[in-house]
Chain A
Amino acid sequence: GAGVSQSPSNKVTEKGKDVELRCDPISGHTALYWYRQSLGQGLEFLIYFQGNSAPDKSGLPSDRFSAERTGGSVSTLTIQRTQQEDSAVYLCASSADWNNSPLHFGNGTRLTVT
């Protein structure tokens, strides 16, 4: 595809359930990022993958959050035992390299925990 693709577009889940959010970056992009955007807030960095290097997990808010990137392409963000405060839009972005190339964002997944 031409852009970053995220699925699902919207997800409603019950408190305590696990959810998986998917990101399909632009082909050939080595860097992939996950951000969280709470209502009316800016973007909060979660995790960053660059090529085959160990991911930067410094932004993950708790051990209930994890992410993986298989084969240097598709990434999955997993939230275990969801809480109401996890409700937000989760945005994925990719870039051709780690510094100069701009980030290209997907349309995000809106997660609602009831």
Chain B
Amino acid sequence: AQTVTQSQPEMSVQEAETVTLSCTYDTSESDYYLFWYKQPPSRQMILVIRQEAYKQQNATENRFSVNFQKAAKSFSLKISDSQLGDAAMYFCAYRSAFYGGSQGNLIFGKGTKLSVKP
């Protein structure tokens, strides 16, 4: 079974600075998708960024980028120029690319609470 581990329960960053959130995962599958979701106090899970495992190039979305190390099974999220609105819980998630592999559902880590200091 696949597992996702986020080893940092809480992180803090100064506004305008850069912060990196860690995520590791365990799988025997060769093809899969990885996601970072943000959950503000409103509870809604918001997709931040997505990475296909077969792509070597790291995904980037504006101030958000990932460092995907497939061999190491590592998928960290870097937030540049942090803003107050970035404060939230961040969840790393895994999804199989094979039909029948975890039935397409997302397997989540326990999350990292990010605080942004003004």
Contact = CB atoms under 8 A, between A and B. Distances in A.
Interface of A: 31, 33, 35, 41-43, 45, 48, 50, 56, 58-59, 89, 91, 93, 95, 98-100, 102-108, 110
B45 A105 contact: yes
16 contacts: A41-B110, A42-B108, A42-B110, A42-B111, A43-B91, A43-B108, A48-B103, A56-B103, A56-B105, A59-B105, A93-B45, A98-B104, A99-B104, A100-B97, A102-B47, A103-B47
Interface of B: 33, 35, 37, 42-47, 50, 91, 95-99, 103-111
A91 B45 contact: yes
Contact of A43 (B97, B99, B106): B106
A105 B104 CA distance: 15
Contacts of B45: 43, 91, 93, 103, 105
Given A93-B45, A100-B33, A107-B44, A31 B104 contact: yes
Contacts of B44: 105-108
Contacts of A31: 104
A63 to B, nearest CB: 20
B105 A33 contact: yes
A91 B89 CA distance: 15
A112 to B, nearest CB: 14
B22 to A, nearest CB: 15
A42 B104 contact: no
Nearest to B96: A99
Sorted from nearest, which 3 A-B pairs have the closest CB atoms? A98-B104, A105-B45, A42-B110
Nearest to A106: B44
Contacts of B107: 45
A45 B33 CA distance: 17
Given A56-B103, A102-B50, A42 B42 contact: no
Counting chain A CB atoms within 10 Å of each CB, the highest count among B91, B99, B105 belongs to B105
Nearest to A104: B47
